[in-house]
Amino acid sequence: MDELLKRLTEAHGVSGDEGEIREILKSEAANLADEVSIDRMGNLVAFKKGTKSGKKIMLCAHMDEVGLIIHNIADNGILKFSTVGSIDPRVLISKKVRIGKKKQYGILGLKAIHLQEPDERKTVVKTKQLYIDIGAKSKDEALKLVNLGDYAAFDTEYLPFGQGRIKGKALDDRLGCSVLLNALKCRYPFDLYACFTTQEEVGIRGAGVAAFNIKPSMALIVEGTTCSDVPGVDEHMRSTRLGKGPAITVMDATSYSNKDMVNKIIETAIKENIPYQMKQSAAGGNDAGAIHISGEGIKTAVVSVPCRYIHSPNSVADMNDYYSTSRLVEAFLKGCE
Amino acid sequence: MKELLKKLVLCYGPAGNEEAIRDCIKEEIKDYVDEVKVDVLGNLIAVKRGGGKKVMLAAHMDQIGFMVTYIDEKGFIRFSRVGGIFVQNSINSKVVFKDGLVGVVSYESEIEDIKDVKLDKMYIDIGTKSREETEKLVKIGDVAVYANGFAESNGRYIAQAMDDRAGCVLLIETAKRLKSSPHEVYFVFTVQEELGVRGAKTSAYALDPHVGIAVDVTLTGDTPKSKLMAVRMGEGPAIKVKDVLIMAHPKVKELMITRAREAGVPYQMEILEAGGTDAGAIHLTRKGIPSGVLSIPTRYVHSDCEMVDAGDMENGVKLLLKILEEEIEF
Amino acid sequence: MDTKDFLSELVNTPGISGYEESISLKVSRVFERYCDEVRTDAFYNVYGKMTDQVGEGMPKVMLAAHIDEIGLMVKEVCEDGFLRFVSVGGVDQRILPGLEVIVHGKENLLGIIGAKPPHLQIGDEAKKALEMKDMAIDVGFSGEKLKGVINVGDPITFKSPLTTLNGTIVCGKALDDRAGAAILLETMKQLKELRFEAEVYFVATVQEEIGTRGAIISTFRVMPDIGIAIDVTHGDMPDAPKEETFSMDKGPVIAIGPNMHPGLTKKLMDIAKEHGIEYLVEVEAGPTGTDARAIQISRSGVPTVLVQLPLKYMHTTVETINIETVKKAGMLLARFISSMKEGWREWMNY
């Protein structure tokens, strides 16, 4: 079991509340980078001076994960919440979350099946109808355990399972963060800025600020991307496939990857014998969306670890895909002058 | 102007893949400007140097298209849209890839009601019989564009990509005919407008002009039982009041109206309820850049038969020339 | 200037998003009475600068409230003299039938948005909401007379002056966010009585209702260290869920969530408690629908707080607020600014 991945994925870091994951990443990066700093949006930037040129390359992965935020505490001690980032309400029912700094347990209950009308089970529950029970009987009792504005993350244990696969929460994009840490182990000819960004999930808010500060000539974004190779999905809708290697993006919802970079990434993969796949959908947005249009424009490309069931309590990824993504990113960077 | 327009609309250049159209435009404009350069995202910037205010004219080079995402065992191609591709404009359309490979777009015909057809139920047929055969010709990421050709009918031109090659033509013609201007004029041919006015953002940031004017197409309200809109083809270029991305700056609007009157050019005021242009990006750059739009009334936008009026285009050039030849008071 | 009078003047001044020249001028004249320096940019954002003690390392604080209002715009002048229109900003079409408006063409004309009387409605007609595209404004003139007077693109505002309902409860159109501008004025007045060590910019922004556009360019210009957005939130209405609305007399509403800086927001709440200023808390799960959305991610990022005024019936012509809360918000913000001393940067550490 990869202990670091366990710590990274189990740490809390819902968009706007990235404190815990930032601390972990900061202490890990401090051992590897020349300088570690935090900017005004809370982005963590690890800087590693280049051996040759002063050219700046930005490596980027977002620290934040989707989750919930408590927006109301009812008189009967029940909590109402909003989703932070995009979460399908259907994945929330009957799950556990951990709330606030004290990681108070909360459950997303639902009226027992015995008490439901037959057609009720067929309706989609809206987020507004859901609630969290923390075992408190009154508002005052609840306020002893949680506060208005507390963030809640899925209560998910990181575990390896099946054949070389792992399951956990926030694989999007703690796997990317881990790839960045791996890349920081080397020194490159150019100045490397490894940026762990905030608030990607609520509108790609941190990355633009990071790019504005650094003004790199090029940025490589490492994501955890949607993988839909499951029953009921047409072949052509699967986007990426588990086990087929890192996915390279041609175009997604928020940016069109720079073609020279994409070609170079593919060449590198072939040369180093690293399996890879082309992302087969143009869906999904990520930090490249904000970075490429920053200032006078920045060349960007996106490489992703395929993850099944992203934005839900349990995502699945293939360790080989993760290792290959790491190797590919490193090899690509080493090939940059 | 007709020959230039024909050349440009037949040139390949979907968003994110503007190399060919950029080269084409560069050839056409380079002899009429002092310098031509290409920036990080691929925008083409041609400048006619001058002493006064920096004026940025913008027309986008990119067109909408179909990006290959999957090739099935029989060789049929599944795609994602690049920009505003609509089902009703694509069924049984002819498309072409960069190197001239032709295909037909159609849909899973077991679907009874056209309303149920979505883009992921459609495919491109390039006439191959197997995956292997197709894979020799296209790969994931390749983009096809509408390929209807160019036609003329009663003083109107019909082709795909009038949005916004017609705007590009206006800029080139203006550069050709501009004898003198008190301003430093930047003719910017932007990339990726169809994906969210992206090229305009970075080019405006780099230039930080005093004023920006985008030249793009707009819809019309003059076809049978059309949605209400006060713009009619043939009644002159339209001066933008508002669209989804911009409230045209009142001083730029006034400037355009005044110059149109001075030049004896017919014009109309335009409100576009759905859609935006590069000016939407330009005006919010840095500390804010007063911007407006000169629109070419166009029917059937985002289809393979976009129609423009030759007179509107000629008047568009006249208006741009007048704006550039005179002072800008604000 | 009396805050209620200021508010009344603002409410009576037209200024739909993109057409704020008049209201910008009014605001700038009032700001001049309190600020050291007042400027207006090409988009009519107004910047009023106030300083007290000057020195090295002081924070640059930007307060922002928007002065644009939602409204309508002439889409077509029909031959028969009726005007077809589009909305500017989020206008609920259900408020329109029977409303009085002012069409700002070469002359200002009074108009009525017509409504078919019940007597003439057929079958189910009465059961459906009327759609904007089917409505028309009657200005009482024929098409011929309107030529050259009214044109496509002319802005249209709602006619609804500030009316006192009861005590400090007032209503009118555009209190979203002219009431915020009134908070700027209150803050200026209160700040004038205090000592402070900051460079303060009171910015009346434009085009918020169509995408926080004024805030984008004004924040880029000011480059503040701290951002304070001032806007409105929902006051409790009889037909709205209790958990999404706020009491009209428990003070301003401070927002928390990813769009607001947690450390800075906590400091603001501490100041409120310290000075016995009542406040409520609103949790916002994503980028808010206010200038704070734009301010926070400008350039290198700006730690931002959001202070809101409870307002009932938002985006109608009968928006209702409590003037008392405007004053409390002003007090809170003045005290907040005055509390910024050496060590203010630590409030923004992560």
* Residue C280: how many other CB atoms lie within 10 Å: 16
Please count the residue pairs, one from chain B and one from chain C, whose beta carbons lie less than 8 angstroms apart. Answer: 64
What does the alpha-carbon distance between residue C342 and residue C197 come to, in Å, rounded to a whole number?
9
pLDDT at C128: 77
What does the alpha-carbon distance between residue B249 and residue B212 come to, in Å, rounded to a whole number?
10
Catalytic (active-site) positions of B: 193
What does the alpha-carbon distance between residue B15 and residue A257 come to, in Å, rounded to a whole number?
11
Q: Do A99 and A233 reside in the same domain of the chain?
A: no
Q: Does C22 touch chain B (CB under 8 A)?
A: no
Residue C166: pLDDT band (50, 70, 90) is very high
Is it the case that residue C122 has pLDDT exceeding 90?
no
What does the alpha-carbon distance between residue A231 and residue C202 come to, in Å, rounded to a whole number?
57
Does the residue A164 lie in any domain? no
| Alpha-carbon gap: B276 to the closest alpha carbon of chain C (Å) | 13
Segment C16-40, tens digit of pLDDT: 999 999 999 999 999 999 999 999 9
Please count the residue pairs, one from chain A and one from chain C, whose beta carbons lie less than 8 angstroms apart. Answer: 66
What does the alpha-carbon distance between residue B253 and residue A315 come to, in Å, rounded to a whole number?
53
Is it the case that residue C48 has pLDDT exceeding 90?
yes
B67 and A236 within 8 Å at the Cβ level: the answer is no
Burial (CB < 10 A; 0-12, 13-18, 19+), residue A117, is exposed
pLDDT at B143: 98
Using DSSP bridges, classify how beta strands C60-66 and C71-77 pair: parallel, antiparallel or unpaired.
Answer: unpaired
What does the alpha-carbon distance between residue B36 and residue B171 come to, in Å, rounded to a whole number?
14
C20 HSE (CA, 13 A, CB side): 31
Q: Do A39 and A82 reside in the same domain of the chain?
A: no
Does the residue A162 lie in any domain? no
pLDDT at A119: 85
Assign residue A24 a region: left if phi > 0, alpha if psi is -120 to 50, beta otherwise? Answer: alpha
What does the alpha-carbon distance between residue C21 and residue C33 come to, in Å, rounded to a whole number?
19
**Nearest residue of B to residue A298, measured between CA atoms:** B40
Q: Which amino acid is at A286?
A: N
| Alpha-carbon gap: A84 to the closest alpha carbon of chain C (Å) | 5
Q: Which amino acid is at B88?
A: Q
Q: Do A48 and A102 reside in the same domain of the chain?
A: no
Residues of A in contact with B139 (CB under 8 A): 278
Catalytic (active-site) positions of A: 200
Q: Does B226 touch chain C (CB under 8 A)?
A: no
Do the interacting molecules here have an ipTM over 0.90? Answer: yes
% of chain C surpassing 90 pLDDT: 87
CATH code of the region B2-63+160-325:
3.40.630.10
Q: Which domain holds residue A37?
A: 3-65+169-334
Q: Do A203 and A125 reside in the same domain of the chain?
A: no
In chain C, where the domains are located: 3-69+173-348, 72-158
Q: Which residues of chain A have pLDDT under 70?
A: none
CATH class of C3-69+173-348: alpha beta
pLDDT at B301: 97
Residues of A in contact with B15 (CB under 8 A): 256
Q: Do A206 and A82 reside in the same domain of the chain?
A: no
| Phi, psi angle pair for A59, to nearest 5° | -110, 135
Q: Which pTM does this prediction carry?
A: 0.95
Is it the case that residue C260 has pLDDT exceeding 90?
yes
Is it the case that residue C8 has pLDDT exceeding 90?
yes
Is it the case that residue C121 has pLDDT exceeding 80?
no
Distance between start and end Cα atoms, chain B: 32
Distances from the Cα of C124 to the Cα of A261, C115, C118, C130, angstroms: 60, 16, 11, 12
A69 and C257 within 8 Å at the Cβ level: the answer is yes
B205 and A292 within 8 Å at the Cβ level: the answer is no
Q: Which of B169-173, C51-55, C210-214, C271-275 has the lowest mean pLDDT?
A: C51-55
- Preferred mutation among C23, C84, C86 to probe B, highest tally of B CBs within 10 A: C86
| Alpha-carbon gap: A241 to the closest alpha carbon of chain C (Å) | 31
Which residue among C69, C208, C282, C319 is the active-site one? C208
CATH code of the region B66-146:
2.40.30.40
pLDDT at A204: 98
DSSP string across C10-30: HHTS--BTT--HHHHHHHHHH
In chain B, where the domains are located: 2-63+160-325, 66-146
- Preferred mutation among B43, B63, B70 to probe A, highest tally of A CBs within 10 A: B70
C152 and B230 within 8 Å at the Cβ level: the answer is yes
User: Structurally, how many domains does chain A consist of?
Assistant: 2
pLDDT at C131: 85
Q: Do A49 and A91 reside in the same domain of the chain?
A: no
- What six digits make up the tokens of A192? 């490397």
Q: Do A191 and A269 reside in the same domain of the chain?
A: yes
Does the residue A161 lie in any domain? no
CATH code of the region C72-158:
2.40.30.40
Distance of CA A170 to the CA centre of its chain: 5
Segment B89-109, tens digit of pLDDT: 999 999 999 999 999 999 999
- In tens digits, what is the pLDDT along chain B, a chain of 330 residues? 999 999 999 999 999 999 999 999 999 999 999 999 999 999 999 999 998 999 999 999 999 999 999 999 999 999 999 999 999 999 999 999 999 999 999 999 999 999 999 999 999 999 999 999 999 999 999 999 999 999 999 999 999 999 999 999 999 999 999 999 999 999 999 999 999 999 999 999 999 999 999 999 999 999 999 998 999 999 999 999 999 999 999 999 999 999 999 999 999 999 999 999 999 999 999 999 999 999 999 999 999 999 999 999 999 999 999 999 999 999
Nearest to C257 among A39, A42, A149 (CB): A149
